[in-house]
Amino acid sequence: MGILTLGVSVYVTACIIYATLSLAYFFLSQHKAFSCDSSCQKRVFFGLAGGGISLCFLLGNAILPQTALGGFAALPVILTTILGGWLSGLIALIITLASHGVALSDKFAIGLVFLILFAGKIWRKRPIIIALAIVFVILACRLGSMLLLDPTRFYTNIRLVYPQMVYPLMECLCFFITYFALVVKKEYVEASISMKDFAMIDSVTSLNNRKRIDQEIIKLSSETQSFGVGLIDLDDFKQVNDRYGHLIGDRLLFETAEIFRSTTRSRDFIGRYGGEEFLIFVRNADPLTVYQVCQRIRAAVANTLFLANSPQPFKLTVSIGVGMYHAGDDLMTCIHQADIALYQAKRRGKNTVVMANGAHRFNTVQFWED
């Protein structure tokens, strides 16, 4: 094979590897960047994509010369392991080893490479030197086996030696191109996701901000499962601000938000609705559970000594108004009902949870006494 044709083959191969893995990576990174810590299904999918590339090389071996197939088939396995961790790598490895077209010695070398990657947990470190060293190991293995098995042919027929020298170098080149292209892609995706997250976080409390709440409201407007809507308001916060200043006020808001985080489940949604008012969606819960969750939040705030290590520790309380959303309801009306319930809680002396009874029937609102 001429050097130009080989160069084109390497380029096409690099493009196939990069396009497939980066597409799979992008697809799996919709809300959170894909990594070795992603869900099992995602890692399996990524492994299938990696194995699919090897399969594509082996079945449609028109792109690469037969003698180079083994080394190039190892590349998706290495890259899949680096980006997706052991499970993705193992799946890509199984597909590669199970397919025809790779010499037994190459299969052995690819298996060995995976074991080294696995033992070194390369997905946690991603040191390119190790990965490159592995590609060179394949090169050395190939030359070594030729020298050992048929030394006379090796010395007398230079045309046989040439591919054994050139292909592994091309594999390294291909690895370099795809590795760096994928790392750049990964960093770009991670940066854009964290920027997006950052834009949705309230700077004072680190809870979801109003923009993110509005998104969640749109998302939950067509929800088919019932959930609770709680509006939480800090009691007499103006006095704190007036007496101790906004800086202390901000620190108290942050500590209160910490209590909300620690007293709710990860599947619940909580955000800063505005000023000293917070909105919580208690997911998949019946009215009694929602009421109990809100009581838990109220009690946790009331029992906390805020700014405990400062010379001026505080006691704070919250009032909570609760509404229930059921499939088909208008969520904004539900939030409005929670607001009315919050108003009732304030009127009844604060530090109270008031629930809009039968919040799905908006014309007959009654309130449960705390």
Ligand X SMILES: Nc1nc2c(ncn2[C@@H]2O[C@H](COP(=O)(O)OP(=O)(O)OP(=O)(O)O)[C@@H](O)[C@H]2O)c(=O)[nH]1
CB of 236 to ligand X, least distance (A): 5
Provide CB contacts within 8 A for 254, sequence distance 6+: 204, 205, 206
CB of 170 to ligand X, least distance (A): 60
CB of 239 to ligand X, least distance (A): 6
Contact 337, 359 (CB under 8 A): yes
The contact pattern for ligand X, residues 264-283, with x = CB under 6 A and - = no contact, is -----------xx-------
Q: Of 36 and 279, which CB lies nearer to ligand X in the complex structure?
A: 279
Stretch that binds ligand X, among 109-117, 171-179, 192-200, 231-239 (CB under 6 A): 231-239
CB of 94 to ligand X, least distance (A): 54
Q: Of 9 and 208, which CB lies nearer to ligand X in the complex structure?
A: 208
Stretch that binds ligand X, among 73-81, 220-228, 233-241, 324-332 (CB under 6 A): 233-241
Q: Of 223 and 250, which CB lies nearer to ligand X in the complex structure?
A: 250
Site for ligand X in 236-265 (CB under 6 A): 236-238, 241, 246, 249-250, 253
State phi, psi for 271 to the nearest 5 degrees. Answer: -150, 165
Pair of tokens at residue 153:
């042919």
- With contacts defined by CB under 6 A, how many residues of the chain interact with ligand X? 16
Q: Of 171 and 233, which CB lies nearer to ligand X in the complex structure?
A: 233
Q: Of 293 and 318, which CB lies nearer to ligand X in the complex structure?
A: 318
Contact 295, 322 (CB under 8 A): no
318-337 as b/e, with b when 16 or more CB fall inside 10 Å? bbbbbbbbeeebebeebbbb
CA dist., res. 74 & res. 167, Å (int): 13
Report in angstroms the alpha-carbon separations of 175 from 96, 107, 119, 135, 196.
17, 18, 21, 8, 31
202 binds ligand X (CB under 6 A): no
Pair of tokens at residue 366:
């009654």
CB of 250 to ligand X, least distance (A): 5
Helices and strands counted in the chain (H then E): 13, 8
CB of 303 to ligand X, least distance (A): 19
Q: Which of 306, 274, 74 is nearest to 170 (CA)?
A: 74
Contact 291, 357 (CB under 8 A): no
CB of 271 to ligand X, least distance (A): 14
Which residues are at the interface with ligand X (CB under 6 A)?
204, 233-238, 241, 246, 249-250, 253, 275-276, 346, 350
